[in-house]
Amino acid sequence: MAEIGFYHLTRTSVDQALPALLGRTLEAGRRAVLRCGDAQRVKAMDEALWRATDPVWLPHGSAAMGHGPLQPIWLTAGDDVPNGATYLFLIDGVNCPDAAAFERVFDLFDGGDPEAVEAARRRWTSAREAGHTLVYWRQQAKGWTRGAR
């Protein structure tokens, strides 16, 4: 079973919060897959990661770029994991039927969008029923606070 962290964004967008989390993933020697809602979002996240300033460098790729096995971070709108990633990042309310295949799952959702919050609650319930270890993180003025859910 995976540890699934639900990241409640309250002060920044996914595009702004994700680089720091991905940077820590790479620092820990892990590979990541970022699952997006659609191909346009993959392209937008690719551009956002290239513009990231902290960390300055987030090596990544997608099917458009190729070389999946070599990419430390893989961006996709599908279920592909060509880089052997053990960390999975979910945005855009993407569901994860294969969470058990990963060591950690990061589910980032917009706390300012009532529909996104309600959808995250449904994903939480489903993951709990599947037996995963769940952790709730709420974005604060600086960093994240682990909360009880």
pLDDT at 148 over 70: no
Quote the DSSP letter at residue 56: S
| Tally of CA atoms within 13 A in the half-sphere of 23 that contains its CB | 13
Q: Give the pLDDT band of residue 29 (cuts 50, 70, 90).
A: very high
- The structural domains of the chain, ordered by start, are 19-146 (3.40.50.10110)
Q: Is the pTM of this model over 0.85?
A: yes
* Residue 55, token pair as written in the block: 């960390």
Please write the tens of the pLDDT for every residue from 32-81: 999 999 999 999 999 999 999 999 899 999 999 999 999 999 999 999 99
Strand order in the sheet with 133-139: 61-62, 73-76, 32-35, 87-90, 104-110, 3-9, 133-139, 144-147
1, 132 in Cβ contact below 8 A? yes
CB 74 within 8 A of CB 46: no
